[in-house]
Structure 1
Amino acid sequence: MNQQLWNDLIEQSKQDWLIGWEAQAILNLTNQKIIQLKQLQTKKELPLNILLAETNPRSFIASFFASIITNNYIFLCNPDWQKSEWQQVFELVDPDLIWIENKIKLLHEWQKQSTKNQNLDNPKNIFQSKIKTSLSTPNNSSLIMIPTGGSSGKIRFAIHTWSTLTASVQGFCQYFQIKTINSCCLLPLYHVSGLMQLMRSFLTKGKLIIFPYQNLKQGKQPNIDLEEFFVSLVPTQLQFLLQSNPHWLASFQTVLLGGAPAWQSLLDRARKYRIALAPSYGMTETASQIVTLQPKDFLAGNNSNGQVLPHAQVTIIDDNQQLLINGKIGQIFIKSNSLSWGYYPQFNPNQILNTDDLGWFDKQGYLHIIGRSSQKIITGGENVFPLEVEAAILATGLVKDVCVIGLPDCHWGQVVTAVYVPSKLDVSEKLIQQKLQQQLSKYKHPKLWFSVDCLPRNQQGKINYQQILEIVVIADLAVQRKIM
C-alpha cells in the first residue's frame, strides 16, 4: 500500500481543495474503495486490472486514488465509448474490476454476445482464456494506463506511473515559476489533459474546480474569482468561448491551449481580447505538454509552439539520424522523465520517443511544428504540409472548419484534397480558391473540394482521419452516380 499517498490525500482533504465538492466525503469514499480493493487482492496474486469509466468526478477521483494507493493497474476509459470501442479494450485488457456508470448493460450485452457460442453461463469466463499480464515496476507500484487513439481511432493505453506524472507537474511548475497551481478543469478526467489538471492541483496543494464544458455552452460559469487559475482548452473550445464570453476567458491567469493545432485567425482573435494564452505541444505519451509558449510571448506576437519545459529534451533529427541545427526541419524526438513506459501490454521504460511530428527550432529556442510526417502530401514531386494549407483556407474567413489530406492519384502521386465546412451557404470552392491565390503556391492549392456540415472531431478537437476518408469516398461515389 502507498501509505505516503494516502497520508497526502488526508492532508489535502483538510484544505478542502476540491471546490464544489466536499473533500472529506471524497476521502471517505476513497477509503471505502480501498477496503473493497484489499478484499479482492486477498484472492489474487497479481495486481488487479481495474477499468475506470466513472462519469461522476467525485467517484472518478476516489476510484483513481484508491487504485494507486493499493498498487493496482488502473485503465482510464471514456464512459462514452460504444460497443466496438469497448471490444477493443477487452481485447487488450483482462479486467478484474470495472468501475463504471450507466454503461453496465452495454458491457454485459457485449460479454454475453462474445460468450454465446461458447455455452458459458458466466460472462466473466470470457476472460479465462487470456494470459494476465503483470509488468515489473519499482517497489510493485501502481501503473496508470491513459487512453490514446491518435488520429486513427484505434484505442491504445500509454503506460504511466505516479513518477512520470509527477515529473510533468514539476517541469510545469519550474517553467511557469509557480509553487501552487489552481486549475479550472473543463476537460474529461480520463483524458491526459484533464487528469494532469487534477495532478497539478493535488501535488502542489492548489485548488481544483471541475466544471463541465456543457455548462459553459449553456451560459453557466463558475462563481469564483479566476485570476489565479489555469484553464486548459482545445481549439474548438477556445473558438466557442471567444465568441460567447471572451471577457470571462480573459479573467484567467493562464489559458493553456493544446490537443490540436490552432489556426492563425483564432490566435489573432485571442490576442485582440488580451487572453493570456499559452499554446503548447505534448501528447498522452509525454503526460501532457513538454513545450509551451509563455503568455507574455504570445501577446507580443510570437506564433511558435513555445520553449521546452525543464523536465524534457527535444531534438530535431533528419532522415539519416543526424542532429539538425536551428532553422532546419526534421523529425521531433523527445526524452523526458514524464515519458510513458510504452503501450500496454508492451513494457519499454526510459526510451526516447520518436514522434511522427515535423518541426524546427529558431535561434531563440522556440519550437515550430509544421505537421506530421505521415500526413505530408507529395504531389508532383513537391512536399505539401496540410497544416499550412488549412491555415491559409481558414484565413480566408470563408470556412468554419477544414481538413486537408492527400488522396492517391495516378498522375500526381497524391492530390491535395480539402474537406471543409463553409461559413455561409453561398460559399463555393471557386470563391475560396480565388482568395488563396495570394496566399499559397499553386501546387499547394487543393484540387479536390468536399463541402460538409461538420468535421468528425473528438472532444479534444482532433480529427478522425478514417471518418474523413469515408466522407470523401461516399461523396466521390455520389458525384460519379450523378455523372452516370
Structure 2
Amino acid sequence: MNTGCQAEVLPDLSPAHALLSAAHQHPDRLSLIDAESERTFTLAQSAGCVRRLAWYFTTSGLSAGDRIVVCAPNSVWHFLIHAAASWIHAVSVPISPLLPEAVRRRLYDEVAPALIIGEEHFTPHTSNLLACLSFEDLNMLARETSNKCPADFSPLPCHDETAALVFTSGTSGKMRAAQLTHANLWWASQCFRDGFEYCPGSAVCGVVAPLSHIGGFNGTSMDIFTHGGTLVVFASFDPLEVARGIEKWRISIMFAVPAMCHMLVQAAREATIDLSSWTRPLVGGDAMGASLFDEMSRMGLSPIHVWGMTELGGAGTFLSPERWPAHPGAIGFPFPYIQCRLRDAQGNLITEAGQAGIIEVRGPGVASRYWGEEERENEWFSSSDIAVFDEDHCMHMIGRSSRVINTGGELVSPAHVEEALRALDCVADVCVVGLDDERWGQIVAAALVPATHEELSTENVRNLVKDSLAPWQHPRRIRWVEALPKTTTGKVDFSQAQSLFA
C-alpha cells in the first residue's frame, strides 16, 4: 500500500485536445459554417487546420505566453486560431476592428503581440512582433509548412496557463484585459452546459455577438466548437440575414443582446421566417425588459436572461423562462459553479430582500487578474453592478455604480466621449449621459455648450467624431444649451443634465 503523498494531477483542459478527440470520433460532422460565404469545415477539417496553424506558429518562433492578436470582423478563424494558440500555450487576444485606430494601436502596444492577424497591415510599436498577416496569408503559410509537421506533434496539456486576454471597459473608462486561464474558460463553459442544459456535440450555435467580447468568444460558442458541435459564424449583424440563417441551418442556441433580439424578431415576423429551432435564445449584455420577453414568447421562443462579465468568462447568473413569470425582469440565480453575494457601500453583507448592494462573485471561472496588474488578493470579485435580492433570493439589477453607459451590450465611458466632443472647435463644454431606451437599453446623449454661433445637427456631430469614437460611442441625441447644470460645489449635475432630454 502506497502511503506517500501523491502529486496533484491537473486535468487537461486543452481546447485543441478536445477538438482532436471529437474529430477522431466524428470526423465528418459539420464543425464550422461561414454564414456569408457558406464555406464549411467538418470536424476533421477543423482539427487538421488547427494542427497546421499550431505547427506554423511553432516554426515561426512563437512559444508559450506569446500573444496572438486577432483584429477582424467575426470569422471562423477566431476559433481555429484560439485552438491552435492553446496547442503551444500561446495567448489569444481578440480586438474589435471597429475601435478607432489610435485605440487599437494603444491596445497592441499594451499587450505586445508576437503576431497580429486581421484585415490591415501596419506595425505597432512593439519589439517582439514577428508578423502582421491576413487570414489568407496565415492559411497559405500554414499549408506550406504542414508537410514538415512531425507525426508526434501533440497539443500541450492546459490548465492554469493564460488562454486569452479579453478587453472590457472598466468603470474608469480605461479598457482592461481580463487575463483568463484555460481553467477559467472551461469552468464558465461548465456553468453554461449545466445551466442551459445543452449538449455541445449536438448543438448548432449561432455567433452574432462580436468575438472581441466574451459573449461571442466564450458564450457557449468556444465550448460547442471544441467539443464537436457546429458553429454558424456571422461576420456582422444583419437581422434579416441572421433570421434566415437560424431557419436555414437550424440554429439551436445563440447569444444576443436585447437590441439584436428586438430586430431579429421584427425581421422574422415581417419575412415570415421560422425561428422554432432556436430553442435556447440567450439574452444578455443588458437588461431584458418585459416587452422583449413577451415579444419573443409570441414568436414561440423561450428566452433565457443572462448576466455575466468578461472577468467571469461570461457566466454570472441566469433566469430560466420557467422562472420568469415569478421574477419578471430579474437576472436570476447564480450558475452552478458561481457564488454571488451583495455588499453595501460600507462593505456589509446584505441578507434582506430589497436592499441594494454591489454584486460580488467568486468561483473557478473568475479571472484573478487583469493583464499588467497584480493578482487580486480577495477571492471575491467586486463588479460595478448594483442589484437587490427578492424574497426568493433571485437577483434583480438596479444599475451601474458608475456613469458607464450600456448601449446594446457595449459599455461606453462618458468621459471618453466627452473628451472627443470637447476637441471640436464648435464645442465649449459637454456632458454625456445615458438615456433609457427600449431597444438599446441606453443610448448616448450629449448636452453641448456652443463655442460659436453654429449649432450642428446630431448627424454632423457624429461625422466629426467618427475617427475618434467607435460607432456605439457616438451620441444618438444632442442638445445645445447655454450652460451645463452645476451642483453647489461647481461640478456638473448629471441628474439635471439627463432631465434636459426629457
Instruction: With the length of structure 2 as denominator, give the TM-score of the two structures.
Output: 0.66
Residue identity opposite 2:80 in structure 1: A
* Larger CA deviation: 182-191 vs 211-220: 211-220
For residues 158 and 345 of structure 1, the distance between their equivalents in structure 2, rounded to whole angstroms, comes to: 10
Question: Shift in Å at residue 162 of structure 1?
Answer: 1.3
Query: Where does the alignment leave 5 or more consecutive residues of structure 1 unmatched?
Result: 115-121, 126-136, 377-385, 391-402, 408-414, 424-450
Query: 1:144 Cα deviation (Å)?
Result: 0.9
Q: Cα 1:249–1:306, aligned 2, differ >3 Å: closer, same or farther? A: farther
Q: Which residue number in structure 1 is paired with residue 257 of structure 2?
A: 234
What's the counterpart of residue 365 of structure 1? 393
Residues 363-388 of structure 1: per-residue CA shift (max 9 Å, x gap): 22211000012249xxxxxxxxx99x
The amino acid across from 2:264 in the alignment is L
**1:21–1:58: 8 Å Cα contact kept in structure 2?**
no
CA shift at 1:124, angstroms?
Answer: 6.0
For the 8 Å contact 1:34–1:66, the answer to whether it is kept is: yes
Q: CA deviation at 1:189?
A: 2.4
Partner of 2:57: 37
SS of residue paired to 1:243: helix
1:98 aligns with 2:116: yes
Distance in structure 1 (CA, Å) of the matches to 2:484 and 2:345: 40
Q: Which residue of 2 aligns with 1:381?
A: none
- 1:81 and 2:81 matched: no
Shift of 1:182: 3.6
1:21 matches 2:21: no
Given that residues 316 and 331 in structure 1 are in contact (C-alpha distance below 8 angstroms), is that contact kept between their aligned partners in structure 2? yes
**How far apart are 1:268 and its partner, in Å?**
3.5
Please give the residue correspondences for 1:264-303 in structure 2 after superposition, counting only pairs within 5 Å. 264-298=290-324, 302-303=328-329
- Relative to total residues, which structure has the larger helix share, 1 or 2? 1
Seen in structure 2, the aligned counterparts of structure 1 residues 170 and 262 have a Cα distance that, compared at 3 Å, is same
Could you tell me how far 1:257 is from its partner in structure 2? 0.7
- Aligned mates of 1:277, 1:158 — CA distance in 2: 28
Residue correspondence of structure 1 range 125-204 to structure 2 within 5 A: 141-150=161-170, 154-180=174-200, 181-196=203-218, 197-202=220-225, 204=227
Measure the CA separation in 1 of the matches of 2:434 and 2:205.
37
Q: Give yes or no for contact 2:74–2:236 (8 Å, CA) kept in 1.
A: no
Q: Identity over the aligned pairs, expressed in percent?
A: 19
Q: 1:296 to 1:319 in 2, by over 3 A?
A: same
Whole-Å separation in 2 of the counterparts to 1:159 and 1:326 = 34
The Cα of 1:3 is off from its aligned counterpart by 10
Q: What CA distance in whole angstroms lies between the structure 2 residues aligned with 1:76 and 1:416? A: 28
Counterparts of 1:179 and 1:420, CA distance in 2: 37
Q: Which amino acid aligns with 1:318?
A: D
Asked if the contact 2:15–2:226 (Cα under 8 Å) also holds between the matched residues in 1, the reply is: no
Distance 1:361 1:416, change over 3 A: farther
Whole-angstrom CA distance in 2 between matches of 1:38 and 1:66: 10
Q: Which residue of 2 aligns with 1:475?
A: 480
* 2:41 maps to amino acid: E
What letter corresponds to residue 273 of structure 1 in structure 2?
M
d(CA) in 2 for partners of 1:320, 1:249: 47
- Report the alpha carbon displacement of residue 138 of structure 1 after superposing the two structures with TM: 8.2
1:475–1:84 CA distance, 2 compared to 1 (3 A): farther
Amino acid at match of 1:53: C
CA contact (8 A) 1:307 1:366 kept: yes
CA distance in 1, matches of 2:242, 2:314: 28
What residue number does 2:153 align with? Answer: none
**Contact conserved, 1:151 with 1:462, CA < 8 A, in 2?**
no
Q: In structure 1, what is the equivalent of residue 18 of structure 2? A: 8
Contact 2:206 2:246 in 1 (8 A): no
Instruction: Please state whether the residue corresponding to 2:237 is helix, strand or coil.
Output: helix
Describe the shift of the 1:34–1:347 C-alpha distance in structure 2 as closer, same or farther (beyond 3 A).
farther
Sort the Cα spacing of 1:123 and 1:359 in 2 relative to 1 into closer, same or farther, 3 A.
closer
Q: Hey, what's the Cα distance between the residues in 2 that align with 1:295 and 1:159? A: 32
Q: CA RMSD in A?
A: 4.2
Q: How far did residue 204 of structure 1 move?
A: 4.6
3-state DSSP class of the match of 1:222?
helix
- Aligned twin of 1:133: none
* SS of 2:210 mapped into structure 1: coil
Counterpart residue identity of residue 359, structure 1: A
Give per-residue Cα distances to partners, 1:146-168, cap 9 Å, x unaligned.
12125765322111011111101
The residue number in structure 2 matching 1:70 is: 88
Which consecutive residues of structure 2, in runs of 5 or more, have no partner in the other structure? 1-11, 34-38, 131-156, 419-430, 440-456, 486-502
SS of the residue corresponding to residue 266 of structure 1 reads helix
| Counterpart code for 1:12 | A
CA shift, 1:12, in A, is 2.7
CA distance in 2, matches of 1:202, 1:260: 25
1:338 equivalent to 2:360? Answer no
Equivalent residues of 1:226, 1:253 under 8 A apart: no
TM-score, length-scaled by structure 1: 0.68
